[in-house]
Amino acid sequence: MSVTHTHAAAPPVPTLDVERIREDFPILAQEVNGHPLAYLDNAATSQKPTAVIDTLRHYYERDNANVHRGLHELSRRATDAYEAARATVAGWIGAPAPSELIFTRGTTEAINLVASSWGEANLAPGDEILLSELEHHSNLIPWQLVAKKTGAVLRYLSLDDDGRLILDDLPGILGGGRVRIVAIAHVSNSLGTINPVAEIARQAREAGALVAVDGAQGAAHHPVDVEKLGADFFAFSAHKMCGPTGIGALWVRGEILERMPPYQGGGEMIDLVGKHESTWAALPHKFEAGTPNIAGAIGMAAAVEYLRTIGPEAILRHEQDLVGYALDALGDSPGVRLFGPPEPSERAGVVSFRMAEAHPHDISTVLDREGIAIRAGHHCAQLVMQRFEVGATARASFYLYNTKEEVDRLVRGLDTVRSIFGGD
């Protein structure tokens, strides 16, 4: 176990033993450009612990075969491990049944699945899809595409100056009676804002609308229970939560999934095939056409098992601790403009900022020379950039293995940026 317990609070949230956790991530023990790596780009993708790397190696060295097809030992093993992975991943988000969880390539494919399958079958001209200004493009473009096909109309919740959704507008929008689905991020990747999804879902449900949650930044950094959230769809990616790239999942409430038409056709997803008509496999296989990412799913489950030993509550608390520390330090740093809610408790481990002296790309380039990895750009959230009238921000994003010393290095790195671009 990589945690020690504090005695103050009840119920106690474990405090992370970060030095110990760092040993689980071999990639962190390297120098980049002559400096120890400070990996502060976790919202883009997280690093992978040995437990996940070993699971993938073991699968390929011992069990690799196709699933649900063969009657031989290896195929049985692969199938058992793949289906066990489904149950483990479903458990991570509190899904009532593993059969409601579909493996996808990631959050992006999961949202495209919802928009295409559910959207094309259920949306009619004049129906409304409610999004928000803080959505990642993965939770915008699929809805724009389905709106064009069906004649549905896109509506938006706005952001206040601190990057929070303006919930006061919600009753008015829902009160129009046209909203069929609310598609909203659990946590903003560009600002870190944790959205009040349960409250939004409560109001949406009362208005007869479904709720689709983009959980890409939620499932990795925040405890998730889809039932408590009141979600009907929940999409997330393994690579942001210590798992492999190219695998993620979509949970759909059972009675909705039953009525959704297939998303893609091919092997695996059929029952009986005729020349003109075919019937579909049972759930969830109806939505998993072709050979799935078997190793990826097993690796995703290994990531869940790993994160379980740490605990999502402890991870979130650690991130909020780092965010609070970073907001204080960056707030004292001359010429730095911070974005997002001022209270660390309102956000996950993301800090977006700009400097008066330098473009975010220049900040990132200078920091990279000091071994510090951050992301600079629009973060696939151009509506957020438009809301704050900037083209880009610099973004540091934290995870369970990051330290206050790394935040200190980030802040000192900005002094270097200032000395290069500040004209002193």
242 a catalytic residue: no
Ramachandran angles phi, psi of 60, nearest 5°:
-70, -30
Among the listed residues 193, 203, 237, 364, the single contact to ligand C6P using CB under 6 A: 237
For residue 217, state whether it binds ligand C6P (rule: CB under 6 A).
Answer: yes
Q: How far apart are CA 327 and CA 6, in angstroms?
A: 24
Q: Please report, as residue ranges, which positions from 373 to 412 form the binding site for ligand C6P (by CB under 6 A).
A: 375, 379-380
Choose between 79 and 352: whose C-beta lies nearer to ligand C6P. Answer: 352
Interface residue with ligand C6P, options 185, 224, 322, 376 (CB under 6 A): 185
Candidates 71-79, 91-99, 134-142, 158-166: pick the segment binding ligand C6P (CB under 6 A).
134-142
Question: According to CB under 6 A, which one of 46, 150, 189, 364 is a site residue for ligand C6P?
Answer: 189
Task: Write out 295-323 in H/E/C secondary structure.
Answer: HHHHHHHHHHHHHHHHCHHHHHHHHHHHH
Q: List, in sequence order, every residue forming a beta bridge with 355; answer none if it has no partner.
A: 336
Q: Does 107 bind ligand C6P (CB under 6 A)?
A: yes
Total residues contacting ligand C6P by CB under 6 A comes to 18
Using the rule CB under 6 A, give the single segment among 21-29, 88-96, 104-112, 401-409 that binds ligand C6P: 104-112
* 21 membership: H or E segment, kind and range: helix 18-22
Kindly state whether residue 348 participates in binding ligand C6P, applying the rule CB under 6 A: no
Q: Are 248 and 107 in contact (CB under 8 A)?
A: yes
Residue 193, both tokens: 């804002």
In whole angstroms, what is the distance from residue 250 CA to residue 236 CA? 7
Q: What is the DSSP string of 55-104?
A: HHHHIIIII---SSS--SHHHHHHHHHHHHHHHHHHHHTT-S-GGGEEEE
d(CA 325, CA 360): 21
Query: Which residue among 256, 380, 390, 420 is the active-site one?
Result: 380
Nearer to ligand C6P by Cβ, of 109 and 127: the residue is 109
Of 55 and 138, CB closest to ligand C6P: 138
Question: Which residues sit at the interface with ligand C6P, rule CB under 6 A?
Answer: 43-44, 106-108, 136, 138-139, 185, 189, 214, 216-217, 237, 248, 375, 379-380
Q: What residues are labeled active site?
A: 380
